[in-house]
A and B are shown apart, each in its own frame.
Chain A
Amino acid sequence: MENELFMNTEFPPPPPEFEPPSSSSAMMLNWALMDPTNPQQDPSFLWEKSTEQQQSIFDSALSSLVSSPTPSNSNFSGGCGGGVGGGGDGFIIRELIGKLGNIGNNHNISGEIYGTTTPMSRSASCYATPMSSPPPPPPPSASSNSQIMMNRTTPLTEFSADPGFAERAARFSCFGSRSFNGRTNSHLPINNNVVNNSGKLTRVSSTPALNGLVSPELAPMIPGGEFSRKRKSLPKGKPKENPISTASPSPSFSKTAEKKEDWSGKGSKSLEEKVGKRRRDEEEDNVDEEGGEGNKNNNTKPPEPPKDYIHVRARRGQATDSHSLAERVRREKIGERMKLLQDLVPGCNKVTGKALMLDEIINYVQSLQRQVEFLSMKLSSVNDTRLEFNVDALVSKDVVMIPSSNNNNRLHEEGLQSKSSSHHHHHHHQQQQLNNIYNNNSQLHPNNMMLQSPMNSLETSSLARSFTHLPTLTQFTDSISQYQMFSEEDLQSIVGMGVAQPNNESQHMKLEI
């Protein structure tokens, strides 16, 4: 079928050679005006084909565009003459838009560009398709370049009627260029940014003709572009991530397929959002923690599953080096967590600064550890006679009520066996019962509210020290639903009750094991 198209268009395969930019613009015109010679082309079909093959063909298409042989020039010179006048610039710009959209692998942009014209164009449906479907990796085929080029010009020529489209498209092209030059503040140093990019953007860098094409064409649009950029710094809510940073030469960036989707996903958004300092706060919301430390590839759409990359957009006036971006993200992560720690550690509100905060945190942790040590010493010295808990009786009572459904849990995994194995079988059983209770409770009630009951029973038993108290505890085990009423205050009150009781029964403190 491609051959048919090829024959229809009667286009010779373009030789792969570059021409100076001055002639390339003329070639653009030629390409744009090719369509009238082939009325029987089916726009939708061509458009679909073109979208499918846009990616790989782009630079070869570009080269073909740039290096159109002179004979074709002569063929179309006649046709060119008429239509160059008014819509000439429009054609060029639209052609550029198409190319630029393909450069960024940003089909949403191109889809958008063409999608905006759907009301005007009769082939509205065909433009919907490229937007909806991300293009599969297209097979590189040099032979089909020519007709693909032509195919793409088909829808372009249909826009010729709309003068406003040219301006809009030019602005979009500014965005398009900015989408993959995202970290640039200036308008169109495409050459620099393109060269800096690796990966799939190197193709663009290899075509200096394009740069020559783009800059003069879009230069007049720059003020508009910048203005629109400022205007479009809308409160989209989600800040923009920098796709460029994903192209940095780090091994973890090598997932091109994923990048493709990210590009398409963010393309539409990058159109509307700008690089701004005040967006940094929002950006932290979108920093995906799952990303590797060096990767910036976040998808701003919340429903999308988190990918391995975190997108980061460079701030104004800051280094756009990938390493510095990574550093900045890392530092922000650390700062975020420092804030979290600040809430935990008492008395840290006055202290500001990372170093002092860290000192405070270290002091706090050390003090806590010392407290544990001190308390354990106290426990060992004071309670040597009282550390015998009647866990068994309590546990058995509770176990009767609560079916033990799951014996496999982390408590078993974590070396509890090591402890239990050294025990008498009786105690081993007791431990397992305890584990079962714990496991069941934790499974049934994630907040562990139900653990209050065995906990209460344990506490009170250890403190109550006589079996006579146990029957009173069974009322706690009657129904699980009752457990939900327990709160920490209840627990402490019960402990307090237990504390009060030893005064009366200190004689009978001893419990059986």
Chain B
Amino acid sequence: MASSDKTINTDVPEKDVFAIHFLQSLSNLTTQNPFNSPDTTNYRARKIKKAAYVSMAKAAGGSSRLWSRALLGRAAKENNKIVRFARRKRKVTWKISSKRRSDQRAPEATDRLRNLVPGGGTMETSKLMEETAHYIKCLSMQVKVMQCLVDGLSPK
């Protein structure tokens, strides 16, 4: 499922990478909270969702994508754990400065996209588009994996 543009690289690992990470995180979850004392479904669902996102971020190449780094950072913060990434050089873009200038704008489509894509708050629009493309690919992969799992594990 690798697509390679000439200048934009939005390659995404194969499905099994996602599957491995997800299963791994799931197993971690189950070991953490043995099912003897089932929490509310909601709580567990949320944990599974978080595990899904984290595993997706890891599978997608943890620190090579802005959104994955933001996701992992967010998750680590929730767990009160510190996560260190190799810092990439960040150019201060005038796009950011222009964004600050026009904070009063009505929520534009790009702003909504920024809210959706993790880590999209401080990217210029072209970078945001790249990240969105990669994010969409990874999301669809993750959805496929989860669907497979659910289908496999659900009683027939």
Residues of chain A touching chain B, judged by Cβ–Cβ distance below 8 Å, are 285, 287, 289, 292-294, 330, 333-334, 336-338, 340-341, 344-345, 354-355, 358-359, 361-362, 364-366, 368-369, 371-373, 375-389, 391, 410-411, 413-416, 418-420, 422-424, 427, 431, 434, 438, 442, 447-449, 451-452, 454-456, 458-459, 462-463, 488, 491-492, 495, 498-499, 502-503, 506, 513
How distant is B18 from chain A, measured CB to nearest CB, in Å? 9
Report the nearest A residue to B81, measured CB to CB.
Answer: A418
Mind listing 5 A-B residue pairs with CB under 8 Å?
A287-B7, A386-B153, A387-B35, A416-B58, A459-B19
Instruction: Return the contact of A451 from the options B14, B113, B149 (Cβ within 8 A).
Output: B14
Instruction: Point out which of B6, B95, B133, B151 has the most chain A C-beta atoms below 10 A from its C-beta.
Output: B133
Confirm or deny: B100 has a beta carbon within 8 angstroms of a beta carbon on chain A. no
Q: Is the interface of A mostly helix, strand, loop or mixed?
A: helix
Confirm or deny: B70 has a beta carbon within 8 angstroms of a beta carbon on chain A. no
Query: Are A341 and B156 interface neighbours, CB within 8 A?
Result: no
Confirm or deny: B154 has a beta carbon within 8 angstroms of a beta carbon on chain A. yes
Instruction: Point out which of B14, B63, B83 has the most chain A C-beta atoms below 10 A from its C-beta.
Output: B14
Query: Are A340 and B149 interface neighbours, CB within 8 A?
Result: no
Given contacts A381-B45, A506-B155, contact A338 B95 (CB under 8 A): no
Instruction: Return the contact of A371 from the options B29, B76, B113, B143 (Cβ within 8 A).
Output: B143
Report the nearest A residue to B16, measured CB to CB.
Answer: A455
Query: Are B133 and A379 interface neighbours, CB within 8 A?
Result: no
Query: Are B83 and A414 interface neighbours, CB within 8 A?
Result: yes
Given contacts A364-B136, A418-B76, contact A502 B155 (CB under 8 A): yes
Query: Are B155 and A513 interface neighbours, CB within 8 A?
Result: no
Which residues on the B side are within 8 Å of A366 (C-beta)?
Answer: 116
Query: Are A369 and B124 interface neighbours, CB within 8 A?
Result: no
Query: Are A340 and B17 interface neighbours, CB within 8 A?
Result: no
**Alpha-carbon distance between A377 and B19 when the two chains are bound, in angstroms:** 17
Query: Are A418 and B23 interface neighbours, CB within 8 A?
Result: no
Residues of chain B touching chain A, judged by Cβ–Cβ distance below 8 Å, are 2, 5-8, 10, 13-17, 19-20, 23-32, 35, 38, 41, 44-49, 51-53, 58, 61-63, 72, 75-76, 79, 81, 83-86, 91, 93-95, 109-110, 112-113, 116-117, 124-126, 129-130, 132-133, 135-137, 139-140, 142-143, 146-156
**Alpha-carbon distance between A173 and B156 when the two chains are bound, in angstroms:** 82
Given contacts A415-B81, A491-B15, contact A293 B72 (CB under 8 A): no
**Alpha-carbon distance between A372 and B137 when the two chains are bound, in angstroms:** 13
8 nearest A-B pairs in the assembled complex, by CB-CB distance: A337-B129, A358-B109, A455-B16, A376-B49, A414-B62, A377-B45, A376-B48, A375-B146
Which residues on the A side are within 8 Å of B49 (C-beta)?
Answer: 372-373, 376-377
Give 16 new A-B contacts, CB below 8 A, not counting A391-B24, A410-B61: A337-B129, A340-B133, A365-B135, A368-B143, A372-B143, A375-B147, A378-B154, A379-B26, A380-B44, A382-B155, A383-B149, A387-B26, A387-B30, A448-B13, A459-B152, A513-B27
Query: Are B32 and A422 interface neighbours, CB within 8 A?
Result: yes
Query: Are B7 and A372 interface neighbours, CB within 8 A?
Result: no
Which residues on the B side are within 8 Å of A462 (C-beta)?
Answer: 23, 152-153
Query: Are A337 and B130 interface neighbours, CB within 8 A?
Result: yes
Query: Are A418 and B110 interface neighbours, CB within 8 A?
Result: no
**Alpha-carbon distance between A334 and B63 when the two chains are bound, in angstroms:** 23
Given contacts A368-B140, A413-B62, A454-B20, contact A380 B48 (CB under 8 A): yes
**Alpha-carbon distance between A234 and B25 when the two chains are bound, in angstroms:** 59
Which residues on the A side are within 8 Å of B85 (C-beta)?
Answer: 413-414
Query: Are B110 and A358 interface neighbours, CB within 8 A?
Result: yes
Query: Are B156 and A502 interface neighbours, CB within 8 A?
Result: yes
Given contacts A362-B109, A415-B76, contact A334 B125 (CB under 8 A): yes
Query: Are B26 and A452 interface neighbours, CB within 8 A?
Result: no
Report the nearest B residue to A338, measured CB to CB.
Answer: B129
Query: Are A413 and B63 interface neighbours, CB within 8 A?
Result: yes
Given contacts A340-B10, A447-B14, A459-B19, contact A361 B83 (CB under 8 A): no
Query: Are B8 and A337 interface neighbours, CB within 8 A?
Result: yes
Report the nearest B residue to A492, measured CB to CB.
Answer: B148
**Alpha-carbon distance between A332 and B96 when the two chains are bound, in angstroms:** 18
